[in-house]
Amino acid sequence: MAKKLQTVRGIHDGLPADVARWRRVEHAAKAVFSRYAFDEVRLPLLEPTELFVRSIGEATDIVSKEMYCFEDQGGDHICLRPEGTAGSVRAYLQAGLTRAGVQRWYYAGPMFRRERPQKGRLRQFQQIGVEMFGVAGPLEDAEILAMARDFLAELGLKNIRMELNSLGCPACRPAYKDRLVEYLTERAARLCETCNDRISKNPMRVLDCKVESCQAQLTDAPEMVHHLCDDCDIHFTGVKEGLDALNVDYQLNPRIVRGLDYYNRTAFEIITDQLGAQGTVIAGGRYDGLVEELGGPATPAIGFAMGIERLAMLLPDEQGAVPDVAVVALGDSVKGYVLKLAAELRSRGLATVHCGGGSAKRQFKMADREGARFVLVVGDDEMNRGVVTLKQMDTGEQHTLTLDAAVELIAQKT
Ligand code: ATP
Ligand code: MG
């Protein structure tokens, strides 16, 4: 027997029940982001590999081992995007928007990372991302965080906490990193292999190691927030003041470091306890150096991204599409007439399924399975008199009436 064809490991189909939840997430995002005057962009899934190497950084998990890259027929090095910020910056520069004033963008779509698949950790997943170019903060930082908070409220999600940190800047981070490396090196023997690897390559990532014995070694580790330069300190204070003014609840967490190299100053995560190790549903921060890094003028920027699947897991089940009306045709002679009636009902805005003709018993059984609230029955007699018989399924009530009257009755009850 031929091998069963299945999705690639770690990649899932979006079936109707999934998509219904994803759409709720997307609608909430669109509604809230529009109130903050953000515009949607749709950017490519394929980008030059170089873009991610230069922006995300070679020492990160994403670039070192998670990207799906290939050489195409023309020898170009191409990669399925693992995230949306790098592509957004590329698009911003490519379109020459650096003098066009503040840009506020959001996007939704699939991202690809070859990670170890787990619940809430997929190899193709969807993100909604937000990027704002041309504002230095700190009040805009607070507003971006408030926007994330408003989005979660719009979705009706509670029991989610926001954690905030400052990652400093190229002026103060190197000195901090030196102290951190010193601290970590002293404890290297008690840190896991990955952490040991990171001490030299990406020491701040050691701080968010998930291994418990590593965390135990880090209790007295130096914290970036205590080593900020004056400018970063003033910025951080401004963010916190803005958050207080906007009534945004947050906790400081010096372990929030973000996996990507390009972040500076404000970094934050929004976390739920309901998804175990995959509890981060939204993450983001400021990345003032990235536009310049990719060849543009120095341009401050801030953004965040959320995992649609992870958020969807927090939402209650949605009912699938339920028709308002199922249409039953009694006898071959009314077949065409009833098809037209079904089309007419749809044109009047009612979700309608046609039960396919044949025996009355089979058609009623189908109407029942569909969960239709009303069944509209038409035989020769109804056709000749220009009426329909309408049965309300929950009460069993039945009336013979004109189509107009039937539509009105259904509209009243739905
Ligand atoms: P994590 O720490 O969970 O690996 P991350 O720091 O790699 O997340 P980002 O790159 O900041 O995550 O992406 C933002 C959000 O996208 C995450 O908070 C999460 O909700 C979602 N996300 C990231 N990777 C995956 C994945 N492999 N599967 C599903 N969702 C993901
Ligand atoms: Mg990750």
Residue of 83, 127, 202, 263 to mutate, ligand 1, most atoms within 8 A of C-beta: 127
Whose CA is closest to atom 12 on ligand 1?
Answer: 283
With respect to residue 277, please indicate whether it lies within any of the assigned structural domains: yes
Looking at the fold, whether 98 and 244 belong to one and the same domain comes out as: yes
- Please report the pLDDT score of residue 364 as a whole number: 92
262-279 burial code (b ≥16 CB/10 A, e <16): bbbbbbbbbbbeebeebb
Give the 3-state secondary structure percentages of the chain, helix then strand then coil, rounded to 5. Answer: 40, 20, 35
Amino acid at 356: G
In this prediction, residues 123-139 reach a mean pLDDT of 97
Residue 177 included in any domain: no
Whether pLDDT at 2 is above 80: no
Which of 263, 285, 312 is the C-terminal boundary of a domain?
Answer: 312
Same-domain check for residues 130 and 155: yes
C-alpha to C-alpha distance for 302 and 134, rounded to whole angstroms: 9
Does the residue 193 lie in any domain? no
Position 361 in a domain: yes
Question: Pseudo-torsion of CA 359, 362, 364, 368, nearest 10°?
Answer: -170
Kindly state whether residues 147 and 233 are assigned to the same domain.
yes
Name the nearest CA neighbour of 128 among 306, 312, 310, 313: 306
**Residues 260 and 336 reside in one and the same domain:** no
Residues 403 and 255 in one domain: no
CB 86, CB 57: distance < 8 Å: no
> Relative to the CA of 279, which ligand 1 atom is closest?
3
Residue 319 has pLDDT above 80, yes or no: no
Q: How is residue 219 written in tokens?
A: 């209790």
Whether 330 is covered by a domain: the verdict is yes
For residue range 200-234, what is the model confidence (pLDDT) as tens digits? Answer: 888 998 998 888 899 899 999 999 999 999 999 99
**Does residue 116 share a domain with residue 246?**
yes
Amino acid identity at 37: A
What percent of the chain lies above the pLDDT cut of 70?
A: 99
Residue 1 has pLDDT above 70, yes or no: no
More confident residue, 276 or 178: 178
d(Cα 30, Cα 37) in Å, to the nearest integer? Answer: 10
Mean pLDDT of 46-59: 92
pLDDT of the residue at 413:
77
Residues 34 and 122 in one domain: yes
Residue 24 CA: distances (Å) to CA of 106, 119, 158, 283, 340: 16, 20, 16, 20, 33
Q: Which of 207, 278, 287 to mutate to test the pocket of ligand 1 (most atoms within 8 A of CB)?
A: 278
Model confidence over 337-384: pLDDT tens digits? Answer: 999 999 999 999 999 999 988 899 999 999 999 999 999 999 999 999
Spacing, Cα 360 to ligand 2 middle (Å): 56
In a domain, 66, yes or no: yes
Distance CA 360, CA 328 (A): 7
> Omega into 138 within 30° of 0, i.e. cis?
yes
Residue 411 has pLDDT above 90, yes or no: no
Q: Are 333 and 310 in contact (CB under 8 A)?
A: no
**Token representation of residue 68:** 């799906």
Please, what is the average pLDDT of the chain?
94
Q: Are 322 and 372 in contact (CB under 8 A)?
A: yes
Reported confidence tier of residue 261, pLDDT bands at 50, 70, 90: low
CATH of the domain at 360: 3.40.50.800
| Cβ atoms 259, 60 nearer than 8 A | yes
Which tokens belong to 346?
A: 């749809």
Number of domains in the chain: 2
Among 312, 347, 372, identify where a domain stops: 312
Domain assignment present for residue 305? The answer is: yes
Q: Are residues 61 and 165 in the same domain?
A: yes
Look up tokens 């050691």; give the residue: 206
Give a yes or no: residue 329 inside a domain. Answer: yes
The answer to whether the pTM exceeds 0.85 is yes
Nearest 10 degrees: Cα torsion 193, 194, 197, 200: -130
Q: Which of 291, 312, 333 is the last residue of a domain?
A: 312
Q: What is the pLDDT of residue 320?
A: 80
Assign 262 a pLDDT band (cuts: 50, 70, 90).
Answer: confident
Round to whole Å and give the CA distance between 22 and 26. Answer: 6
CA atoms within 13 A on the CB side of 210: 6
Q: Phi and psi at residue 113, in whole multiples of 5°?
A: -145, 130
343 and 263 belong to one structural domain: no
What token pair was written down for 364? Answer: 């009623």
In terms of domains, do 367 and 271 share one? no
Please give the C-alpha separations between residue 214 and each of 25, 76, 210, 219, 394, in angstroms, as whole numbers: 35, 41, 8, 9, 60
Q: Is the pLDDT of residue 182 over 90?
A: yes
| pLDDT for the residue 244 | 98
pLDDT in tens, 64-87: 899 999 999 999 999 999 999 999
Judged against a pLDDT cut of 90, whether residue 296 lies above it is answered with yes
What pLDDT does 260 receive?
67
Does residue 59 carry a pLDDT above 80? no
The set of residues, in sequence order, having a beta carbon less than 8 Å from that of 350 and lying 6+ positions away, is 324, 325, 407, 410, 411, 414
Q: Are residues 28 and 129 in the same domain?
A: yes
Residue 147 binned pLDDT confidence (cut-offs 50, 70, 90) = very high
**Ligand in closest contact with the CA of 260:** 1
Can you tell me the distance from the alpha carbon of 20 to that of 17, in angstroms, rounded to the nearest whole number?
Answer: 5
Would the pLDDT of 274 be above 70? yes
Q: Which of the four pLDDT bands, split at 50, 70 and 90, describes residue 61? A: confident
Residue 399: its H or E element: strand 398-401
Using CA atoms, how far residue 319 sits from 13, 15, 19, 311, 325, in Å, is 18, 13, 11, 18, 17
pLDDT tens column, 38-52: 999 999 999 999 999
- Statement: residue 247 has pLDDT above 90: yes
DSSP state of 278: G
Query: Could you tell me the residue range of the domain that residue 366 belongs to?
Result: 325-408
Pocket of ligand 1 (CB under 6 A): 83, 113, 115, 120-122, 125, 127, 259, 278, 280-283, 305-307, 309-310
CATH code for the domain of 45: 3.30.930.10
Of the ligands numbered here, which is closest to the C-alpha atom of 208? 1
- If asked whether residues 376 and 351 sit together in one domain, one would say yes
64 vs 252: CA distance, rounded Å: 30
Overall average pLDDT of the 298-308 stretch: 97
